[in-house]
Amino acid sequence: MSAFAAVLRKDLRLELRSGESTIALLALSLLVMVVLVFALDASRVRGVDTASGALWVAMVFSGMLGAGRALLAERDNDCMRGLLLSPLDPATLYAAKLAATLIFMSVAEVGAVVLMVLFFNLEFNTALLRVAPILMLGALGFAAVATLLSAITGRTRAGDMLLPILAVPMFVPALIAGVKASGAALSGAPFAAMSDWLKIMIAFDVLFVSAGYLLFEHVVGQD
């Protein structure tokens, strides 16, 4: 069994037994949706654009608090040292943590989409299937940024407070593209209307996954 699979399996097993990350992410998504329903004018008819915007707000806010979990779990009992001492490439560790975070975020996204349909009076139809890949690209980008940065912020005095301050501005391009593309997908626009946005998201994901993969060893090393 490869090192990547070993770490990922460990994280998934931990998550299946405790449910900590996914439940927290789901609960946060629910709360963000509820807050948005109250914050936005209830008398006005809410369009598809508002719904897709709410979906992304939920992703960013729940992701900010939940995405670093997979890495922060290793901080207790100094498990990180153990992982680094094992014959495991830091880049592989990054990939495994990224995969775990992506899986947790995907579960939360499924919940968020269901909530969006219920709260914003949409229909359960095939348009939701078109949103799925866009959300996956967004979640991958966010997880890539958050996994790299939470390795940094977890070791500073401000701690987790600093993660959103660093991660959200970095995520802006994928956020703009994601909101626009999923709005177009939900309103049934042709693929051509979102292809430019998808290109930006793919560029963002490729850039940040490779940056994280290459730079991770510099942020986890012990001094």
Partner 1 sequence: MNNAIRTWLGVATLFLMLASLFMVFEYVPTEIDEGIVQRIFYFHVPLAWVAFVAFGLVAIAGVFYLWLGDQLWDDLGYASAEIGMVFCTLMLISGSLWAKPIWGTWWTWDSRLTTTFILWLLYGGYLMLRASAGDSPQVARFAAVVGIVAALDVPVIIASVRLWRTIHPAVLVTKQGGHGLEDPRMIATLLVSLTAFSALFAWLLMLRFSQVRTHSRLQALAERLAIAHAAAGDR
| Interface residue list for partner 1 (CB under 8 A) | 145, 148-149, 152-153, 155-158, 162, 165-166, 168-170, 172-174, 176-177, 180, 196-197, 200, 203-204, 207-208, 211, 215, 218-219, 221, 223
Q: Which is nearer to partner 1, 112 or 170 (CB)?
A: 170
Length of the chain: 223
Q: Which is nearer to partner 1, 60 or 177 (CB)?
A: 177
Q: Which is nearer to partner 1, 78 or 196 (CB)?
A: 196
**Shortest gap between Cβ of 192 and partner 1 (angstroms)?**
12
**Shortest gap between Cβ of 158 and partner 1 (angstroms)?**
4
Q: Which is nearer to partner 1, 29 or 153 (CB)?
A: 153
**Shortest gap between Cβ of 5 and partner 1 (angstroms)?**
27
- Phi, psi (degrees; rounded to nearest 5) at 45: -75, 130
- Phi, psi (degrees; rounded to nearest 5) at 42: -75, -25
Between CA 196 and CA 169 the distance in angstroms is 21
Contacts 24+ apart (CB under 8 A), 72-78: 72/150, 72/154, 72/160, 73/11, 73/14, 75/154
Between CA 163 and CA 62 the distance in angstroms is 12
Rg (CA), the chain: 18
Q: Which is nearer to partner 1, 61 or 204 (CB)?
A: 204
8 Å CB contact between 147 and 61: no
**Shortest gap between Cβ of 38 and partner 1 (angstroms)?**
25
**Shortest gap between Cβ of 67 and partner 1 (angstroms)?**
16
